[in-house]
Amino acid sequence: MSRKGRGKGSVMTASMIRFFLSLTVTLLTLSSASAQSIRAGIIGLDTSHVLSFTKTLNTDPQKPEVMGVRMVAAYAQGSKDIESSTKRVPEYVEKVKALGVEIVPSIEALLEKVDVVFLETNDGRPHLEQIRPCLAAGKPVYIDKPIAGTLVDAIKIFDEAKAAGVPVFSSSSLRFGKTTLAVRAGSIGKVKQADTFSPASLEATHPDLFWYGIHGVESLFTVMGTGCVSVKRGTTAEGKITVVGTWEGQRTGTFTEGKGYGGKAIGDKGESPVGTYDGYDPLLFSAVHFFRTGVAPVTPEETLEIYAFMEAADESKRQGGAEVTIKSVMDKALAVARAKP
């Protein structure tokens, strides 16, 4: 009887050993994956975003969310004709160099040294030209706001990325605010109405909301989702931009130019503040996860609808505040973007 007991015990011990060996291998594999070495590079040193991203990636000890990812090289040239951008470049060059980043003379030289790319040029107009060598080299790209200088170029970027089989995504950091994400995940049920606000400084070379209003518009779409049907633009009593969108199911979402970042969403299970700015790290963590997995946190369809909303706001302004459909704006842009040479 004692022999049977010992025999049974020895079988259990062997089974446990196999289990723990398997568990150890699994944990080591996960640890290795989470700390996967990734060399990141920057195109465009004319926005404060690059300093924030580089500090988080290149400071030791690294945060667990970015373990193994380092910013190693940068191509400095961004916009060539927007003073607010060009004047920042010399300062940012020195600051990223101090963080261990090598400055290279061209995008091609950058691509030889990196695995993934942060396209940070503040000016959206050169993004299509800048991303093309990245796509040819098969390098995944995060494109900072605005994704492009026009909706047409935004469509071309996604079309060419799809054809190349290279993952890309674009987003404002405001998408990743805690309460905004909670509402998107269903914390107040189906959102029936949302109002967001952010600064909306203008740049003459871009549609009005592309330059800075994108922040509040991105928050709005994060909680409302896709399905916007039409847009009407007006001004507040203080002369600030206000844009009202009508979504499918007669849901409404409003962006208003304002100070700071915020807003409120009303759902069928309650209401919640939304649109707050919670720093750059949540966006960076999402970008790093994207680089590791190839899975974009925002679909091309949603990003294009956001930019169609902003283009429609400009069209509404040109028509004296008339209602403009998203479909009409998208159809026009698609026809131009996909026209045969």
Inside any domain, residue 229: yes
DSSP 262-307: EEEEEETTEEEE------SHHHHHHHHHHHHH---SS-HHHHHHHH
Q: Which of 147, 173, 199 is the last residue of a domain?
A: 173
Nearest to 281 by CA among 71, 49, 47: 49
Q: What is the mean pLDDT of the chain?
A: 91
* Res 8 pLDDT > 60: no
Inside any domain, residue 77: yes
Inside any domain, residue 291: no
Which pLDDT score, from 0 to 100, does residue 35 have?
A: 53
| 252 shares its domain with 152 | no
Please report which residue ranges of the chain form alpha helices under DSSP H.
2-34, 49-58, 83-86, 89-98, 107-111, 127-136, 151-164, 178-184, 208-211, 214-224, 281-293, 300-318, 326-337
| 205 shares its domain with 103 | no
| 206 shares its domain with 141 | no
- Looking at residues 213-239, what average pLDDT do you find? 98
Reported confidence tier of residue 19, pLDDT bands at 50, 70, 90: very low
Of all residues in the chain, the percent with pLDDT exceeding 70 is: 90
Kindly report the CATH number assigned to the domain that includes residue 273.
3.30.360.10
Which pLDDT score, from 0 to 100, does residue 83 have?
A: 82
In the sheet with 228-235, reading across from the earlier edge strand, the strands are: 270-273, 262-267, 191-198, 251-257, 241-247, 228-235, 324-325
| 256 shares its domain with 331 | yes
Write the pLDDT tens digit of every residue in 152-202.
999 999 999 999 999 999 999 999 999 999 999 999 999 999 999 999 999
Which pLDDT score, from 0 to 100, does residue 33 have?
A: 41
| 153 shares its domain with 262 | no
Residue type, 274: V
Which pLDDT score, from 0 to 100, does residue 86 have?
A: 84
Inside any domain, residue 78: yes
| 91 shares its domain with 131 | yes
* Res 67 pLDDT > 90: yes
Q: Which of 154, 173, 192 is the last residue of a domain?
A: 173
Inside any domain, residue 284: no
* Res 24 pLDDT > 80: no
Token pair recorded at residue 328: 């009409």
Which pLDDT score, from 0 to 100, does residue 253 have?
A: 98
Write the pLDDT tens digit of every residue in 160-173.
999 999 999 999 99
Please state the domain count of the chain. 2
The boundaries of the domain holding residue 214 are 174-278+298-337
Q: What is the largest CA-CA distance in the chain?
A: 95
Query: 241 or 18: which carries more pLDDT confidence?
Result: 241
Which of 33-37, 90-94, 301-305 is least confident?
33-37
pTM value is: 0.89
Cβ-proximal residues to 151 (8 Å cutoff; 6+ apart), any chain: 304, 307, 308, 311, 329, 330, 333
| 229 shares its domain with 145 | no
* Res 322 pLDDT > 50: yes
Say how far apart CA 277 and CA 116 lie, in whole Å.
26
| 328 shares its domain with 198 | yes
| 223 shares its domain with 211 | yes
Token pair recorded at residue 304: 């294009």
Inside any domain, residue 160: yes
Reported confidence tier of residue 14, pLDDT bands at 50, 70, 90: low
Which pLDDT score, from 0 to 100, does residue 5 have?
A: 45
Residue type, 49: H
Reported confidence tier of residue 235, pLDDT bands at 50, 70, 90: very high
* Res 13 pLDDT > 60: no
Write the pLDDT tens digit of every residue in 114-132.
999 999 999 999 999 999 9
* Res 26 pLDDT > 60: no
